[in-house]
Amino acid sequence: MSEVLDGYEQWLKGAWLTLQLTVYGSGVALVLALVFGLAGTSRHAWIRVLNRVYVEFFRGTATLVLLFWFFYALPLVGIRLNSTMFAAVLALGLNIGAYGAEVVRGSIKAVPRAQYEATIALNFTPLQRMRRVLLPQGFALMLPPFGNLLIELMKGTAIVSLVGLTDLTTVSKNLQSSTGETVASFSLVLVIYFVIAQILQLFVRFAEARVDRMLGRRPSREPELGTLAAGAPGAGVAS
Partner 1 sequence: MPPTDTTPEKDAAPLRGSAPGIRFEKVIKRFGSNTVLRELDFTVAPGERVTLIGPSGSGKTTILRLLMTLEKPDGGLIFVGDDPLWHMDRGGKRVPANQKHLHEMRKRIGMVFQQFNLFPNMNVLRNLTEGPMRVLGVPRDEAVERAKGLLDLVGLADKIDAHPSQLSGGQQQRVAIARALAMEPQVLLLDEVTSALDPELVVGVQDLLRDIARQSDLTLLCVTHEMTFAKDISDRVLMFDQGQIVEEGPPERMFGEPSEQRTRDFLQAVLAT
- Provide, rounded to whole angstroms, the least separation between the CB of residue 140 and partner 1: 8
Of the pair 52, 131, the CB lying nearest partner 1 is at: 131
- With respect to partner 1, which residue has the nearer C-beta, 49 or 232? 232
* Window 111-150: contact mask with partner 1 (x via CB under 8 A): ---xx-xx-xxxxxx--x---xx--xx--x----------
Phi, psi of 121 (to 5 degrees): -60, -30
Would you say 144 or 231 has its CB closer to partner 1?
231
Least separation in angstroms between residue 115's CB and partner 1 is 6
Q: Give the closest residue to 204 by CA, choosing from 140, 160, 159.
A: 140
Cβ contacts of 108 within 8 Å, gap of 6 or more: 37, 38, 41, 130, 134, 135, 138
Is residue 79 packed enough to be buried (19+ CB in 10 Å), middle (13-18) or exposed (0-12)?
exposed
Query: For residues 198-217, which are near partner 1 according to CB under 8 A?
Result: 214-217
Q: In the complex with partner 1, which residue's Cβ is closer, 2 or 113?
A: 113
For partner 1, which is the closer residue by CB, 52 or 213? 213
CA distance 102 to 59: 10
- Minimal distance, residue 239 CB to partner 1, in Å: 9
Burial track 124-161 (b if 16+ CB lie within 10 A, e otherwise): beeeebbeebbbebbbbbbbebbbebbbbbbbbbbbbb
Residues contributing to the site for partner 1 (CB under 8 A): 114-115, 117-118, 120-125, 128, 132-133, 136-137, 140, 214-217, 230-231, 233-238
